[in-house]
Structure 1
Amino acid sequence: MTAARGRYISGEQTRTRLVEAAERLFARRGYDGVTLAEIRKTAGQHNSSVIGYYFGTKEGLLRAVFSHRLPAVNEERDAMVARLTVAKGELSTRDALWTIALPLAHTIGRGNHYVAMLNQLINRDQLAEHYTAADPAVTAGGRAAYIALKESITHLPDDVLNQRLLLVYASIVRSLARFDADGTPPDQGELSALVDAWEALLLAPMSPETVGSRRGIGESAIRRVGGDFPAG
C-alpha cells in the first residue's frame, strides 16, 4: 500500500512538472514554437514517451494546463460574482470586468505564467480554438463572467458589442502579460485604472459616423481581434 501510494505521488509530481514546464515554454515562445522534447527536458524527464503516457498529445498537454490553472481562477471568480450579486442584485459592467481581470491578475508570480501563455495564444489567434476544446467544467466560470459582462451592456448592436468585448478581453490579457514579464502583479490602483479604460471602451456610444456607415463588423473582423470570447 505504501509503495503504491509513493508511486502515485511520484506520478502526480511528474505530471505537474510537465504541465508547469509546458506553461512556461508556451508563455515564452507560443504553442507552436515549442516541441514536446523541449518540454520534457525542461521538466527534467528523460523518458521520451512520458508526455504521451500522461497527456496523449501536445493538445492534451495544453488542455491539462487549463485544468491545472482554471479551478483556482474560477473559485475566486465565482466567489466574487456571488458576493457582488448578493450586495447589488446584479453585476454592473465594472463589476463584471473586475470578476474577469482580478482572478487573472492574482495568478501572476510564483512561477505561474498562465496569463502570459494566454497572451501568446491570442497573438497567434489560437486561444478560442484551444480554450473551447478544454474541459467545459473548468471553463464554466469564464463563460459565466462573459455572460454577465455582455448582459450589462445593452446599448450596442451585437456585432459592435462582440468586437468591443474581444478588444477588451485581448487588452486584459495583454496588459496583465506585461506585469507577468516583470514578475509582479498590478496593485489595486494600477488595475483600477485599467478597469476604467475597459469600462469606457465598452460603454462608449457609437459615433454618428459609425451609425451612418454601419455595414456590420463581420466575422473576419471578429477573427482579427481574437476569435470567440473565452474569458479565461
Structure 2
Amino acid sequence: MEKREQNNARTRQRLLEAAVSLYGSRSIDSVSLREIALAGGQKNPNALQYHFGDRDGLLQAIVDFHASGIGARRQAYFERAGSGEWPPAEAVSRCLIMPIIEYVEANAAGLDFVNIVSQLATSNHGVYGLGSPAAVSFPRPAALAELFDAAFAGLPPEQIQQRIYLIVDTAFHAIANIFKASRELPAQSPLADRHALCEQLLAMVHAFIVTPAISGADAK
C-alpha cells in the first residue's frame, strides 16, 4: 500500500473511532459531522464527507466495522447450535445475545457501538432484518434466520415479526444498560452483577420465544 493510501486509511479509521465515541456517549442527532472531523484530528470539515459521503455512509461504516467482529464470535455459537447443544429457543437467545456481550467485554468501543445500535433501533427497521427499507443495513445471517424459524415454528407470521422486533430492540437496550450499571453502581448492588443480569436477559428472551401465540394479537 502506498504512503498516501496508508495515510487515508489511518485518517478514515480515526474519523470512524471519533464518530463511535461521540455517537455512543451522546447521541447521533446531537453530534455534527464537523464535530466528528475535529475530534478525528481533521481541521478540514469536509474530510468526513470525503471518506464516508454523508452521515448515513458513516453509520454504515460503523456498523460494518463492528458487526464483523460480532459476526466472527457468533459463528462459534452457530456451530454449537448446529451440534444440537441447545433446544431451538435457547439456541436463538444465546446466538443472538452472547456474541454481542462478548464483543463489548473485549472491545473498548463495543459499548459505544451497542449504544449507537440502540439509537438506530428506534428509527431503522433494518436492525431487525424484517425487510423494511432502511438507510443503514445490518447483517442478516442465514443461520440466525433458520434458528428463528425453528424456534417460532407454528406462530403466525405477524407475531413472529412482532417478537423479533421486540427481542432485538430489548437485547441491545438491555445490554447497553447492563454494562452501564456494572460500571456506575456500587459493587454490592444486584444490578451491578453483569454476569447475573446477562443470564437474566437470556432467560427473559427464552421465555418470550416459547410463549404460545397470543390470541387476538393481530386484531386491529
Q: Same fold (TM over 0.5)?
A: yes
Is contact 2:88–2:151 with CA below 8 Å preserved after alignment? yes
**1:189 and 1:121, CA in 2 relative to 1: closer, same or farther beyond 3 A?**
same
**1:156 and 1:130, CA in 2 relative to 1: closer, same or farther beyond 3 A?**
closer
**1:91 and 1:72, CA in 2 relative to 1: closer, same or farther beyond 3 A?**
farther
Q: Percent identity?
A: 21
Shift of 1:47: 1.5
Is contact 1:163–1:217 with CA below 8 Å preserved after alignment? no
Moved more, 168-177 or 180-189: 180-189
Q: 2:210 aligns to what?
A: 203
Q: 1:126 aligns to what?
A: 124
Q: 2:98 aligns to what?
A: 102
1:105-116 equivalence runs, <5 A: 105-108=101-104, 109-112=107-110, 113-116=112-115
SS in 1 for 2:155: coil
Is contact 1:116–1:180 with CA below 8 Å preserved after alignment? no
Candidates 29, 54, 69, aligned match of 1:57: 54
**1:10 and 1:155, CA in 2 relative to 1: closer, same or farther beyond 3 A?**
same
Q: Say what the alpha-carbon RMSD is for the aligned residues.
A: 2.8
In 2: Cα distance, 1:130 partner to 1:95 partner: 18
Q: 1:139 aligns to what?
A: 139
SS in 1 for 2:28: coil
Q: Deviations over 1:21-49 (max 9, x none)?
A: 21222223433322101111121211222
Is contact 2:78–2:143 with CA below 8 Å preserved after alignment? no
1:149-164 equivalence runs, <5 A: 149-164=148-163
**1:217 and 1:202, CA in 2 relative to 1: closer, same or farther beyond 3 A?**
farther
Structure with the bigger RCO (C-alpha within 8 Å, sep 6+) is 1
Matched AA of 1:111:
A
Moved more, 92-101 or 105-114: 105-114
SS in 2 for 1:8: helix
1:21-60 equivalence runs, <5 A: 21-60=18-57
In 2: Cα distance, 1:155 partner to 1:54 partner: 47
Is contact 1:26–1:120 with CA below 8 Å preserved after alignment? no
SS in 2 for 1:47: coil
In 2: Cα distance, 1:186 partner to 1:15 partner: 37
**1:129 and 1:171, CA in 2 relative to 1: closer, same or farther beyond 3 A?**
closer
Which runs of 5 or more residues in structure 2 are unaligned?
184-191
Q: 1:223 aligns to what?
A: none
Matched AA of 1:193:
Q
Is contact 2:126–2:136 with CA below 8 Å preserved after alignment? no
Is contact 2:178–2:194 with CA below 8 Å preserved after alignment? no
Shift of 1:146: 3.5
Matched AA of 1:41:
L
Matched, 1:171 2:181: no
Moved more, 96-105 or 20-29: 20-29
**1:31 and 1:96, CA in 2 relative to 1: closer, same or farther beyond 3 A?**
same
Is contact 1:84–1:90 with CA below 8 Å preserved after alignment? yes
Matched, 1:191 2:193: no
